[in-house]
Amino acid sequence: MFLEQVITKPDPYAPFLLSQAIKANGFVFVSGQAAIGDDGEIVGEDDFDRQAEQAFRNLDRVLTAAGSSLSRVVKVTIFLRSMENFSKIVELRRKWFTAPYPADSIIEVSSLYSPKAMIEIEAIALTEDR
């Protein structure tokens, strides 16, 4: 099996010794994408809407770098610090994905990699050649 690391510039994941995504056998496995800006800092502290938009932009960026796209996502897992934001996820899915919508799990967690992070999205997608 051939594994290919997917990297965007800047790469906020490099200090943590993990890949933003890995391509393998026609699939892209995307690490959790949080609301990290190009400066490596959380965008929109205490603002779920801004953080969610940035997390989806980051997901789109890494999928594009992997030769895939949001339309090729087959599964997402969305981690929320509070289920109070659950209703907003439907609108975000409508904005960022198209039918057939990907399979999805939404999980409330007590914390993410940073106490400022409110959302993180991981995904599995098909590559464009699949």
Which DSSP state fits 31?
Answer: E
pLDDT digits (tens, 9 = 90+) for 58-107: 999 999 999 999 999 999 999 999 999 999 999 999 999 999 999 999 99
pLDDT digits (tens, 9 = 90+) for 19-64: 999 999 999 999 999 999 988 899 999 999 999 999 999 999 999 9
Per domain, the residue ranges of the chain are 20-126
User: 20-126 — its CATH code?
Assistant: 3.30.1330.40
Peptide bond into 12 cis (omega under 30): no
